[in-house]
Structure formats: structure tokens, C-alpha cells
Structure 1
Amino acid sequence: MSIHPPSPARVVLLCGPSGSGKSLVAARSGLPVLRLDDFYKEGDDPTLPVVEGSSDIDWDHPESWDADIAVEAIARLCASGSTPVPVYDLALSARTGEETLHIGRTPLFIAEGIFAAEIVGRCRERGLLADALCLTRGPVTTFRRRFLRDLREGRKSVPFLLRRGWRLMRAERSIVARQTTLGAHPCDRDEALGRLAAAAAGRRTPRQPVA
């Protein structure tokens, strides 16, 4: 009897505005998780964008994040079940080390982060994509959750968090619209969990539009 090698894993990209509950949904799914926030550029990187009319670094702009390294990590996880990933300290805006993520022989894992939609097309072209989801909760709810989380975790100074929170609350609808245009399906927590369960069981979800 011939033994066939296991099929490569595939990824569900989980995006949404900062504070929309991505980490919670990923944890509740029971699937292995790759944290895309660990692929931020470091604070002294000269290519970091700044908020227009301000000296603040724009950590919500895709150019603050290294998409190339993130895609390669996803590809290695799909192919081999493990990959080195940076350990990133958001408060320090710096990589503080490296660790190896192992997902074993699972057929499905989640890559979650605010920039996940930016790589939907690249993952689809490489045959890595199972689904792409954009969590939405409403600007006020997201603002409150994001501020309390960031304050509790000491991610940045309070004035910075307030400036960022106000800016993101006003921009939330356009953020969701952009992520949807890039190929992520907008949904609430319950629908996201349902689609994740369907993907894990090998059931097809509605086809995403090609960005």
C-alpha cells in the first residue's frame, strides 16, 4: 500500500481594524495562529511612514509592516509546518528575538493582523489561501476595546493612544472598505467562527472576489 504525503496546509487571513477582536476569534477557533503584528518594521527603520501633519509614526499604514517576510513565513508553514518568526515588542517598536512556530500536520491555520488583507492576493496566487475574513464591530465599540487593551498592555503613551484612537475611529469605515476591496469578507465574530469551522472541516465557503 502506497503512503501519500500529507497535503500542504492552507491559511485563513483574519484582518479588521485594530481592536476588532481578531486575536479573540483566532483563539476561540482552536486553530494554530501566526501573529502578523510580529512582522512590523523596527522603530528606527527609515522607511517608516508618518501621520500627515504630525511627527507620529503611522503604525496603521501598510508600509510600517514587512509583507514580504510575512508571506514567506506563511508559505513555509503551509509547506513544512514550521517557520522562524520574529518576537516583536510593540512598546519598544523593536524585534527582541526570534522563535520557531510549529503547527504540526494541521491542514489549516490562521494568520491574523490589521494588515492581513494586504497579502490576500499574493497568498491566493501561490495557492495558500483557504479564506480571508475582515472583522467589523462598529467604530465606537472598536475604539473602546482598542484603547483599553493598548492601555492595559502599555503599548504606547496615553497621548499617542488617544490621537491614534480618534484617527482610527473616524477612518474605520474606510479601513473596512479597503480590506474588503482587497479580498477579505466582512463579518462579525459569529460568522467568522462559522466560516473558520467550515474551512477546518474542509467545507467550501463562498468564493471571495478577486481583488
Structure 2
Amino acid sequence: MRSRVLVLAGPSGAGKSHLAERLGVPVLRLDDFYKDGSDPTLPRLVSGANAGLVDWDHPDSWLPDDALATMTELCRTGRASVPVYDISRDGRCGTQPLDLGGSAFFLAEGIFAQDVVQPCREAGLLAAAFCVTQHPARTFWRRLTRDLRERRKPPLVLVRRGVALWRGQRAVVADAVGKGCRQVRPEEAFREISALVAGATTTEVD
């Protein structure tokens, strides 16, 4: 393997993308592997104020096999073609190349990241897996301001979704931990991953 994957799971809005930017390690955005909004297999909400809308927080709304194939290619060759997903348009709007540039690690982050931990471990691709968490109120506010800024959905839909995710945050964290992730705060993950990257760099230099 040319590289190994560091998985960043956790609730939407917990700071995974911001953490990835700070680390400066190549990033595979697992949220780009969502199904297109026209896909008839998409799950839908059956209750609540948003009943009838696509349930984008359900694992059946994305393509884990495609994500795993891409991660395998990245680990073996150091490069892959990855989809570009436009959330506001509910679909892919093209592809782009991802080149690891010789990096010993890359990050795979997204709200379904916990579902790739075991397959990556079994395939010998996994370096470590983290579930990034913050206080639910902070996560709610970060998520809502981000989604409103990026105009991901109508404001009322975003507020209702945010409240539902706030209530379900404990279950999301428990699911990630149960699937092999270690629960950490963003700063703790930053320190540990930085140390891993620095160690790999030192080894290469030696």
C-alpha cells in the first residue's frame, strides 16, 4: 500500500471538514458519494414535519461500495477520480482527480464514515478511526450556520433537520464507536493525527 486511510466520523456539524482543512492531509469527502436525488432507491422520512422528503441522514442514501473502491485505489496507487456532489442540486456535477502526492495517509470524512471502518480494516487500508464530537448545542449551531450559508436546503427544512439531528446525536456517536471509531474532541484528533503524519514524514526522511 502506498497510503493508508484515517477515518473521521461524527455528527454533521461536529467539525470534521474544518479539522481536515487544518491538518493539511489529502481528503476524500465521503459525502460526495451520495446518491443522486432522482435515484428511486433513496430512503424517505415517514414521520415528522419533513415527512416525504429524502432522508439524507439514512445510510441507504449513499454508495458505500463506490467509496470503498475509491479508497482502495487511493491506497494502492496514490490517485483516483472522485465525484463532485452539489448538495443544493441533489446530485453529482462531475468528477475531479485526487492525487495524494506521496502522502502516507489521507483522510476519509463524512457522516457515514463509520460504515467504512470495518471494510477498510479487513482490507488492510485502515490506519485509525475517530468519531469527532462536540457539545450538541455547539454542533447544532455550527451545522445550521453552515447549511444556511451554503443554501443547502430551504431554511425551515434545515432548522427542522437540525433539531432532529440534535436529538439523535448520542445515537450517532454510539453507532460510530460501536463500529470501531474512538470518540475524540477535534483538538485531540488534531494532535494525534499530526503526530502520525509527522512520524511518517520522519521515517521517510531517515
| TM bucket normalised to smaller | over 0.9
Q: Distance in 1 between matches of 2:135 and 2:64?
A: 27
2:169 to 172, 180, 195: 172
Q: Distance in 2 between matches of 1:172 and 1:113?
A: 15
**Is 190-199 or 31-40 further displaced after alignment?**
190-199
Runs of 4 or more off by more than 4 Å in structure 1? none
The answer to whether the Cα contact below 8 Å between 1:131 and 1:199 also exists between their aligned partners in 2 is no
- After superposition, residues 114-129 of structure 1 pair within 5 angstroms as 114-129=111-126
Tell me which amino acid in the other structure corresponds to 2:193.
Answer: L
Residue 11 (structure 2) aligns with: 17
- After superposition, residues 7-156 of structure 1 pair within 5 angstroms as 7-53=1-47, 54-156=51-153
Query: Percent identical across equivalent pairs?
Result: 48
Secondary structure at the residue paired with 1:12? Answer: strand
The CA deviation at 1:198 is 2.6
- After superposition, residues 194-205 of structure 1 pair within 5 angstroms as 194-202=191-199
Q: Distance in 1 between matches of 2:100 and 2:167?
A: 37
Relative to the length of structure 2, the TM-score reads: 0.93
The CA deviation at 1:12 is 0.2
Q: Distance in 1 between matches of 2:56 and 2:135?
A: 21
Relative to the length of structure 1, the TM-score reads: 0.91
Tell me which amino acid in the other structure corresponds to 2:5.
Answer: V
Of Structure 1 and Structure 2, the greater helix share is in 2
The CA deviation at 1:202 is 4.1
Tell me which amino acid in the other structure corresponds to 2:175.
Answer: R
The answer to whether the Cα contact below 8 Å between 1:130 and 1:199 also exists between their aligned partners in 2 is no
Q: Distance in 2 between matches of 1:199 and 1:13?
A: 13
**Is 50-59 or 172-181 further displaced after alignment?**
50-59
The CA deviation at 1:43 is 0.3
Tell me which amino acid in the other structure corresponds to 2:32.
Answer: D
Q: Distance in 1 between matches of 2:195 and 2:174?
A: 25
Residue 206 (structure 1) aligns with: none
The CA deviation at 1:201 is 3.4
Equivalent pairs, count: 197
Tell me which amino acid in the other structure corresponds to 2:15.
Answer: G
Tell me which amino acid in the other structure corresponds to 1:55.
Answer: G
Gaps of 5+ in 2: 201-206
The CA deviation at 1:197 is 1.6
Q: Distance in 1 between matches of 2:9 and 2:46?
A: 24
Q: Distance in 2 between matches of 1:198 and 1:60?
A: 32
